[in-house]
Structure 1
Amino acid sequence: MSIQTFIQLIKSNLLLILAGGLLTAAAYWLVAQQKQAFTSEALVSTGIISSGSIRDTEGGKSVDRDYAQNELENLISLATAHKTREELATRLLARYLLLDQADRRWISTAEFDYLHDEVFTADIWALKDTSYASTLANLTAQRDAATPNDVQRLIYSDEVYFGIEYLQEKLKVYRRGNSDMLQFIYTTTDPAICQQTLNEFLGLFLSKQAALKKSQSSEIASFFAAATAKSARSLKDAEARLLQFRVQNNIINYDEQTRTIAIRKEDLEELRFKENMNLQSVEASRLRVEKELGNRSALSEINEGLLTLRQELNQVAIQLAKLEITNEEGVPAAGLARQRELEARREELKNQMSRIALKSYHFDQSPQGVNTQKLLDEWLATIITEEQSQAKLGVIDQRQQEFANIYSQYAPWGSQLTELQRAISLVEEEYLENLHSYNQAMLYQQHNLLATNLELIDTPYLPIGKPDYKRFLMVIIGLLGGSFTVFAIVLALAFLNDSLENPAVVRAKTGLEVATVLPNRALGRKTAQHRTRQEAATAQAMALLLQQIKVETLQKDSTPRLILVASTRQEEGKSWVAGQIAQLLRAEDNRVLYLYPIESGVLPVSSHKDTLGYQMSSRMLDAERIQDLDIFGQIEPYLELYPYIILEIPALLTGKYPLPLLRQFDLTLLVCRANRSWEEADQQALKTLHRAARGPIRAVLNGADRDTLAAFMGELSTARSKFEWLPIPQEKPYRYDL
C-alpha cells in the first residue's frame, strides 16, 4: 500500500474514525459522572487446612483436599445465601433507623439526608423503637408478614444499601487462592456505610456459622446420648433378671454345679453297685451261718428278740449312711460329732444283740462241730452288715431320687440361663457400640466447635476517597483508543479487501488492460453540483472508452465493426455500458445496431429502432452469424450498412451465449464491478472467452470511487466541492443486466 493510498484511506474514513473515538470518550464520560465507588475488604481464616484437629491422634497429618474444598464452598454458600442477605438488610435497616444525625463513622451527611428523604417512608419510621433489638424485631415481623408492606418493598429490591439484589451484586465472597482463607469485598458509594455493612455482615456470618455447626453436632451427640442411656437401662434390666433368676434357684456357678452334680451322680451309682454286691455277699453269708446253726426254732426266737434292736440298728445305719454320703460332699464339724455318736450307738446295739443271741442257744457246738459262739458272732455280724447295707442302699436310692429331681430342675435352668446371658451379651454389645458412637459424636462436636472459631485476620477498613485526576486522561485515552481501534479495523479491512477496486488490481487479477473506469452513478446526496460533477466524470470516462473502441477497430477497413459486451456475472452493468456506447456512436451520426438478450418472450419497449432484443434459446447457442439469432424486429439484410454492431451476451458463467459467433467480433469489452472480488470461476470463464474470441479483450471497471477516477483520468474539469473528500454511499450504476 502506497503512502498516497494510505492517506486517501484515512481521508475517506475520517468521520468513522473520529466517531468511534468520540463514542468511546462519551461512554466513559457518562460512566465517570456517576458517584465514586468505595471498596472495603476483610479476610477471615477458616483453619480448615492450616489448623490442627482434635481428631488427629497420630503424629502425621494429611490434608483432605476434597473435604477442605467442600467446607469452603459450604462457607461461601452460607455467606451468599438469600436468607443471610435478607437478615443483613434487616439489620442494616434497623441500625440506620436509629441514627438521629449523620455520623462520619456510620454515614455521610449527604447519604443521611438521602435516606431520610428518599428511602425511609412513614410506615418504616413507625417501626423505630427505643432499642436496636426491639426495632429489629419490628422490622423482622414486617419483613415476614403475609401482606405486602414498605419494608418488604425496600428489602426485596435493588435499592442501594438495603436491597438484597444490590447486596448480591456488590457484596462478594471469594476463596483467596488455594488457601483456607475467605476474602469479603463490598463496594458502595459511601465509605462509612461500606465499612459498617461489612462489619455487620461478618458478625452475622460468624454467628450463623457457629449456630449451624453447633446444631449439627448437638443433634448427633444428643441422639447417641439417648441411645446410650437406653442401652444402659436395658443392660441393667437384663442383669437384674439374671440375678433374680440365680437367687430364686440358688445358682452360684451353673457350670460347676452341674458338673458336681454329674460327678456325685456317677459316684452314687458306683457306690450303689458296690453296696448291692456287698449286700448279696452278706445275705449269702447269713444263710450259710444259719444253715450251720441248724436250730431254726432258736433262730426264730432270736430274730424275734432282736427285732426291736434290728429296727433301731437299721435306723442308726440309715443315719450313718446319710452322714457318710454327706461327708463325701463336705459337711460341717457338727455332722462329724453326730457320726461318732451314731457309731457308738451301733456298737452298743451290736453288743446287746450278741448277748441276746447267746442266751437263746444252750449248746456250744453246731451239728458240724463248730463253736456256736463263733457262729453266732458271725451271724450277728452278717445281720448287722445286712442291715447297714440295706440302709445304705435305701439312702443311696433316696439320694439318687433327689439328684433326679435336681436334674429335672437344672435341665430347663440351663437354657433359661443361656437365654438370659445371651440377652445380656446383646444388650452389652449394643451399649458399648452406642457408647463408642457417643464418644465419637462428642469428639466430633468438640472438633466442630473448634472449627467454627473463625479468625478475623483483616478487619474491614474505612475506604478513603481520592481525587479522580485520571478522569480527563482516561477521556483522552478513550478518544485516542476508540479512534485507533476504528482506524485499525479500517486498515485491516483495506488490506483484506479483495475487490477489483482499481485498474492495477484488475490488470493483476485478470491480465486485461482497462479501457475505461466508470464512476458510481449514485454517490450520496442528489445535489445539482454533485450530479453535474458525476455526469462530467461519466462523460469523460465514456469518451475514453469510445476512443479506445475506435483505436482497437481502426485496423479494420470494412464494416460493420463488431463489438461484444460481456461480463462473467450478472448485474455487472454491461447493459448500461452497451447502451451508452450505442448512444455515443449514434451521436456521431453512426448507424449502430445494438442487440441485447431477452430471457422471456415479452419484448421490452426500445428507445431506438436499431436497439433490438434477441431470444435466448437453444438455437442461439449454435449461431455462427448475427442473422442466426432470433431477433425481435427487422434488421437490414446487409449488415455492412451498420458501421457498428454491438452485441450484449448473457453472463459468461451462465453458459448461455453463442460461442461460435464470438470469433467474428473485433473487440470484446468485459465489464467488471469494482466492489466485488475476482474468483476462480471468473478466471475460468475469462479463459474460455480468450480461446473463443478473435479480437482483443479489454476490461471496463464499473462503479469505481472518486479517487480511482482521479488516478485514471486526472482532475475533472468541473469545480470541486470542499466536502468532496467525504465518503458517500454507493448505488448500482445500471438499469438492468443479464
Structure 2
Amino acid sequence: MKLTEIFKLISRNWFLLVAVTSVTMASIYFFTRDQDDQYTSDTTIYTGIATGYNLGNVTESSAQYKAANNAFANLISIIDSRDIRKELGFKLLASHLMLKSYDATVLQESTYNTLQELVPAALKAKLIGATAEETAANLSAYYHASKSNVIRDIINSEDMIYSDKAFSTIVAKRIGESDLLQISFTSNDAGNTKNTLDLLTELVIRDHRKLFTAQSESVVDYFEKATEASFQKLKQAEENLLSFQKTNNIIDFNSQVGSTATEKNNLMGKYNDLEIDYAGALSTLNSLEQNLKDRGVPNLYSQEVLQLKNKLSKITTEIVQLELLNKGNKNAAQESRMNALKQEADELSKKMLGSVDKHYTNTHTMQGLPTAALLTDWVKTTFLIEELKSKMSLINKQQAMYAREYEKLMPLGAENKMIIREVDMAEQEYLAQLDGLKQSKLNQQNFEIISQLKVIDPPYLPGSPITSLRVIITVLGGIAALLLTLGFILAHAFLDQSLRKPSVAAKKMQYPIFGVLPETDATNAKQLLLAQNAEDQLARQLILKMRQKTSTAGPFVVGVLSSMSGEGKTALCHTLANSLSTMGIETQILYPENHKGQTVADAHSSFYAPLHGVLADASVADLAGVGYLDNAVILVEFPALLEDTYPVSLLKHLDLVLLTVRSNRAWQQADKIMFENIQQVTNAPIETVLSAVQSDDAKEMVVVRPKHVVQEQKALQAPKALTTA
C-alpha cells in the first residue's frame, strides 16, 4: 500500500478516527476523576562502590565494571526485598503511633485520625516503648502473635500506607555510571513521603553494612582454612615423593629411564661391532696358525706360551676397562697406569714371539718365504683377540647392569607419575587457595570502604503534588485508541477484496474500464462537479465507440449488464441518455418490464419483456418499436444476470456491452463464469463501468475540469447527421 493511499484512507475516515479517540480520552478522564494527588520525594546516597572496586585494582577493568554493577544490583535488591519493606511498615507505624498529636510533616490528618480509631488506647499504651526501635519490635511481635489482630490488619491493608502495595512506588536506580544511588517514593501523603524515605535509608544502610561485613568475614575465614588444608596436603604429597625417590634411588625418573635405555642400545651396537671384529680376528688367527703348522712351526701353544697368553689377557682386560670406564675422566695417575700396562703388553708380545721362535731354527720355509713375519702377525692377532674378548666381556657386564637398572625403573613409572601428579594438583590447589585468600583480604578492605553508605541529599518534604497522571494517561489512551483505529482501518483496507477503484477492478475482472460513476453527496459541490465530469467522460467514451463502428446502418446498440441488481445499471442509462441528449444525440432507453413503478417512462424510454428475447429470436428493433431508426443510440438495460431471466437473443445484436459493478463488492467466481459465457455469445466488446466509486479513487479515470468549461461545452450535430457521417 502506497503512502498516498494511506493518506486517502485517513482523510476518508477522519471522522471515525476523531470520534473513537475523543470518546476514549473522555472515558479515561471520566473514570480517573477521583484519583488522589500524588507527592514524590527522593534521596541520594553515595555508595563508593565503583570507586572502591577501582581502588582494589584486583581485576581487569571489564571485571571491575561487572563487579560494580553486581554490587549496585545487590544494593537495589536489598531495597526491594520483602523483609526490609515489612520492617519499614513496622517502623513507619511505630513512628506514627508515638506521635503525641497530629503533625502535618509526618502524615496527613485523615490517616492520623483513622489510625487513632483503629488502635485502641489500651493496646497503644501496651505497644509503645521507650524508643522507636523498641516500639517497632513490639509491633512485630504482636503481628506474629496471632493470625488475626489489629496490627496485622493495618499492615496488610491495601488502603493504608504500611502495606507492600503502598511501598510499590519505591524506585531505586543508579545515577549514570557514578557511585550515587537515588531512591524515590511517591505517595498521596506529602509528610509520609519524606518520613518513609528517612526510615528506608536507615534500614538500607544498616542491612548493607551487615551484609558486607558478614560476607567479607566469612569469605576470609573460608580461604584461610582452605589455604592451610591445601598446604598440608601439598606438604604430605612432597614428602611421599621424596620418600619414593630415596627408596628407589631416583633423582630424575624420566632422565634416568631415558639415559638407561640409550646406554643399553649403544652398548648393544658396540657389542655387535666387537663380535664382527672378533670373528674376523679369530679367522685370521686360525689361518696364521695353519700356515705356520704347514711350515713346520712347532706347537704355538706350549706351556710357556699359554702362561704368557693368559697374562696378556689379564693386562688387556685391565687396559680395556681403563679405556672404557674412565673415558673422558682421565688424570695423571690413570695415564701413567695406562702407559705401564701398554708397555707390559708389548713386552709380553715380544716374549711370546721369542718363546715360539726359539723352537724354530729355520727362519725360512721350504719355498724360501720368511716365517718371522707370520709369527709377528700371529702374536698381533692373538693380542687383538684377547683385547676384543676383554671388551666383549666388559660390555656384557655393562649391558647386564643397565638391563637390571631398566627393569627396576620401568615398573616404577606409573607410581612415580601418580605421585608427581598428586604433588602438582596439591600445588595448584594451594596456589589457587592462596590467591583466593589474597583476593578476599583485598576485597575485605574494599568492603570496609564501600559498605559505608552516606546520604548526600536527604529526602525533602514535597510542597506541591506532581503533575496528575490523569492527563498523561488520557493522552496516552487517546494516542493508543488513534493508533488502534488507524491500524484497524489499514488492516481492513489491506485485506479488502473489493474492486475499490478502476486500477484494481481492471486487474481482477480482466475487462477494460469504460468509466466510473462516483459516489456523490448532494451538499458537496466538489463531488457534484466530479460526478458531472465523470458523466461527460462516459458520454465521450460512448461517442468514441460509436465512431469505431464499421457499419453505419441502424443505431449504436449498447447493452447495460450486471450480475446482480443494485449495481447502477439504471443510473448509468439515465446518465448516458441525459449527457447524449444534451449533446444533441437522440437516445432511447429500453428498461425491463420489472422496472415499471420504479422508473417513469418518457419519450426517450420504454419497457420490454425479457422473455421475448428468450423464447424467440427477437431483435432490438422488435423491442424498441416504430421509432427505432430515429435514434442514434439504443441503451438496453438487462435484468440482473444471476437473479432474473434475461434476453439472450439480444446479445448478438449489441455493439457494446457495458458491465456495471459496484466498487464496494468483490468479483466472485460466479461473475467471472457468467461473463465468460456472455463473451462467447456476443461479438460486442465488454467493458466495465465501476459505480459508487469513492471520490479520491474516481480521479484515476476522471479529470476534474473547471465548472465554466463544462458550461461552455457546445452541443453536437443532430443524430441523423451523426449516423450518416
**For this structure pair, what is the TM-score category when the shorter chain's length is used for normalisation?**
0.3 to 0.5
Length-normalised TM-score, structure 2? 0.42
Length-normalised TM-score, structure 1? 0.42
